[in-house]
Structure 1
Amino acid sequence: MTHDHFASLYDVLMEDAPYDSWLEYAEKYVHKEGSILDLACGTGTLTMMLANRGYEVTGVDVSQDMLTVAERKARKSNADVRFILQDMRELEGFNQLDGVTIFCDGLNYLTKEEEVIQTFRRIASSLKPGGVLLFDVHSPFKMEHIFDHQLYGENSESLSYMWFCEPNKESLSVHHSLTFFIKKDEDLYERMDEEQFQRTFLPSTYHQWLEEAGFHRISISADFGNKELEEEDDRIFFKAVKK
């Protein structure tokens, strides 16, 4: 499947995503009217929510097709947001930011250690001292147990899909195979296929890389920062402050 096709389906697949909770998590740590960079912003739903709460927001994504959808949505809602095509591993052109967010496991699409390390360094150079990095990632438990040879699916009037997860070759990594059937008319469906790869690392490893990149006051939690992390939590939340 091309990125264009996946971008056109993304908002349908994310209808039940906890955007309000991500927004609340960001508002805990970045002061209102501050400048936020929303990395891996996808089609810009959270980016625009941040803008509507008074933040100066820029959305960044590696997919031009995702950004095309985001810009269309922003124009329709008159949201004051910039969208920029960049790879987070090569982030440049930003400085003195109050906050950077990478939600909805955007960081998990970096499958090599050096890519995550480089991204943390690029983010640190973009933040002002005291600026905050907020992100979430899949937990090791989720990779090893929840995603382990699991099949998910949904059948609706306009869209049906099957989503198969299997371990990939690297430790704590997963290969997602998705097949979509999109209704075109009464008797015709179009099939589209998509492959994605994700990887996570131990919380202690992320902590070490953040420290080495110039962050301190690092907190690790679950449930959008509302509880201490336990072994069987499926998503891990990080807050890190630029020294």
Structure 2
Amino acid sequence: MRSYRQFAAVYDRLMEDMPYSEWMSFARRCWDKYGVPKTVVDLGCGTGNLSIPLARSGFSVFGIDLSSEMLSVALSKWDEPYTHGLRENVGTVRWLQQDMRDWDLPMPVDAVISFCDSLNYLTEQQDILSTFRQTFAGLVEGGLFLFDVHAPRQLERYAEEQPFVNDDKDVAYLWTCEYDSNRMEIEHSLTFFIQEETAPKSGSGGALYSRFEENHVQRAYDPQWIADQLVSAGFELLHRCADFKWDKPNEDSERLFFVARKP
């Protein structure tokens, strides 16, 4: 399972180029086609980069994540004065520290989303099955489950193209990967250097940086196996596509999307 510690403090800075607007557009396209929800669970919500825009658009959102640090950042962003003064029809959001494999709410919801390859952090098949079954149980009849995962080939690309280096003035990182082709599993090893906010003492010769390390493991699964497990959990599989387009996946696809409904 994904576990962010110090990473939470710099997550938004490092993820600022992620296509959050495209995830939002994909969800809205699905909802326009199959039914617009009122209540939405965001599984693996992180720092709220999708939960908060959904709530600002009037949805009642439950942001669920295993990391208390990530949820703390999300809460601070939601509590900014800008959020509450934005518009009259702003929705609500509740932040819940729960495991996506056994998440639970007092009442079923209309839709569940899990984007930004959150499900790839489930590294055993049983974890995927548990999440699918729990999500099925947590939806109303007719409720939609939208999610994406990295394609197996994408994890291979990470291993082939690594190392990755970022060297900004106030934050830098070195990112390396080790790939296990038998399990289609990759371990990301990240070393961060974060500039201290306090100024260095006179004569020190430069800024001070804190160093910390994070290790994250992701696993890819055969797309047909995922589809079969959705059906086994009781879902009706409505659509499969890739890379934010409505087209069918192909060998070059990087991010696979699944649209499922509880009958």
TM-score of the alignment, normalized to the shorter chain, above 0.5: yes
Task: Look up the equivalent residue of 2:53 and give its one-letter code.
Answer: M
Say yes or no: does 1:221 pair with 2:241.
yes
Which of 204, 225, 233 is 1:205 aligned to?
225
Once the two structures are TM-superposed, the CA of residue 169 in structure 1 deviates from its matched residue by 7.3
Report matched runs for 1:67-78 at 5 Å: 67-76=71-80, 77-78=83-84
Closer, same or farther: CA 147–200 of 1 in aligned 2, 3 Å: same
Once the two structures are TM-superposed, the CA of residue 223 in structure 1 deviates from its matched residue by 2.0
Give the Cα separation in 1 of the matches to 2:153 and 2:181: 17
Gaps of 5+ in 2: 85-89, 200-205
Say yes or no: does 1:86 pair with 2:98.
yes
Say yes or no: does 1:8 pair with 2:20.
no
Gaps of 5+ in 1: none
Once the two structures are TM-superposed, the CA of residue 113 in structure 1 deviates from its matched residue by 0.2
Q: Secondary structure at the match of 1:16?
A: coil
Structure richer in strand, relative to its length: 1
Once the two structures are TM-superposed, the CA of residue 4 in structure 1 deviates from its matched residue by 3.8
> Deviations for 1:52-93, whole angstroms, at most 9, x for unmatched residues?
122111100000111111111101023731100100011112
Q: Relative to structure 2, which stretch is displaced further, 88-97 or 203-212?
A: 88-97
Which of 38, 57, 66 is 1:53 aligned to?
57
Closer, same or farther: CA 94–231 of 1 in aligned 2, 3 Å: farther
- Please name the residue that 1:242 is paired with: 262
Say yes or no: does 1:134 pair with 2:141.
no
Say yes or no: does 1:153 pair with 2:165.
yes
Once the two structures are TM-superposed, the CA of residue 149 in structure 1 deviates from its matched residue by 6.4
Closer, same or farther: CA 35–107 of 1 in aligned 2, 3 Å: same
Closer, same or farther: CA 194–91 of 1 in aligned 2, 3 Å: same
- Please name the residue that 2:203 is paired with: none
8 Å CA contact 1:150–1:166 kept in 2: the answer is no
8 Å CA contact 2:230–2:237 kept in 1: the answer is no
Q: Secondary structure at the match of 2:47?
A: coil
Say yes or no: does 1:119 pair with 2:131.
yes
Say yes or no: does 1:18 pair with 2:19.
yes
8 Å CA contact 2:227–2:237 kept in 1: the answer is no
Q: Relative to structure 2, which stretch is displaced further, 140-149 or 108-117?
A: 140-149
Task: Look up the equivalent residue of 1:85 and give its one-letter code.
Answer: Q
Identity of aligned residues (%): 38
Task: Look up the equivalent residue of 2:223 and give its one-letter code.
Answer: P
Once the two structures are TM-superposed, the CA of residue 95 in structure 1 deviates from its matched residue by 3.7
Once the two structures are TM-superposed, the CA of residue 218 in structure 1 deviates from its matched residue by 3.2
Task: Look up the equivalent residue of 1:209 and give its one-letter code.
Answer: Q
TM-score by length of 2: 0.87
Task: Look up the equivalent residue of 1:147 and give its one-letter code.
Answer: A
Closer, same or farther: CA 106–84 of 1 in aligned 2, 3 Å: same
Give the Cα separation in 1 of the matches to 2:211 and 2:180: 24
> Deviations for 1:174-198, whole angstroms, at most 9, x for unmatched residues?
0000000111244311111000000
Which of 40, 44, 49 is 2:44 aligned to?
40
Q: Which runs of 4+ in 1 moved over 4 A?
A: none
Task: Look up the equivalent residue of 1:47 and give its one-letter code.
Answer: S
Task: Look up the equivalent residue of 1:235 and give its one-letter code.
Answer: R
Q: Secondary structure at the match of 2:191?
A: strand
